Amino acid sequence: MTLSPDAAFWELRFAPERFAYGTAPNVFLAAHAARVAPGQRWFVPGDGEGRNGVFLATLGAAVDTRDLSPSGVAKSRALAAAHGVTVNATEGDLRGWSAPAQYDGIASVFLHFLPEDRPAVHRAFVEALKPGGVLIVESYHPEHLKRQAEGSRGGPQRADMLYTPELLAADFAGLTAVSMHVVDETLHEGALHEGRSWLTRAVFQKP
């Protein structure tokens, strides 16, 4: 099987036995666990090796995930089985992805796109949420380039792939911003998300 260049990039990260970003959920997503109710349907785009989708499934949600890497998808399914839950992990590109308004929540965690791709993908997230649905976003802020220069690991090395609150507010203009913050804190999320990090964190809700 021949992978696209983007898929091949992530396959190199996820093919090794170790979990590149660990198996624990993202800290910001875990802080919003109270927003997840049993029986809800959640989508985790770009879930890699499955840590966030599996976390949501352990809270009782029905979880769909999508990732470019075949190894990531396989590890996601294995991690779910190890936790005694099921995650509908599928392989595929998010560019061109769409779904009807069916999700109670979407968790977009460190999911960064080129500026020519990002708006359409983010519009698809808005359309896929049910009325009242919640979108949780954790991303790197452009100031994070300074942290990378200091040795922090994680995030694209291009300013135009990093997200400000203003950019997210524009992309998700059809949603209500519940909270939005820029923080500078230390991450310990596997070997590849390590060190002081400038982050943009947001929660949106669909009217």
Alpha-helical regions (H) of 59-175 = 70-82, 118-128, 144-149, 165-171
- For residue 13, pLDDT beyond 70: yes
The model's pLDDT over 90-111, given as tens digits with 9 standing for 90+, comes to 999 999 999 999 999 999 999 9
Mean pLDDT of 62-67: 98
Question: Starting from the edge strand earliest in sequence, which strands make up the sheet with 129-140, in order?
Answer: 88-91, 62-67, 41-45, 103-109, 129-140, 194-205, 176-188
Residue 42 CB partners (closer than 8 Å, separation 6+): 36, 53, 56, 61, 62, 63, 64, 103, 104, 105, 106, 107
List, in sequence order, every residue forming a beta bridge with 41; answer none if it has no partner.
Answer: 62
Closest CA to 180 of 203, 161, 199: 203
Q: Please determine, for residue 18, whether its predicted confidence score (pLDDT) is greater than 70.
A: yes
User: How much is the pLDDT for 4?
Assistant: 87
Instruction: Specify the pLDDT at position 1.
Output: 61
Using CA atoms, how far apart are residues 31 and 79, in angstroms rounded to an integer? 21
For residue 106, what pLDDT is reported? Answer: 99
2 falls in which pLDDT band (50, 70, 90)? confident
Question: Can you say whether residue 164 is alpha, beta or left, with left for phi > 0 and alpha for psi between -120 and 50 degrees?
Answer: beta
Superfamily of domain 5-205: Vaccinia Virus protein VP39 (3.40.50.150)
The model carries a pTM of: 0.97
CA dist 66 and 94 (Å) reads 8
| Percentage of the residues of the chain whose pLDDT score is greater than 70 | 100
Q: Where are the domains of the chain?
A: 5-205
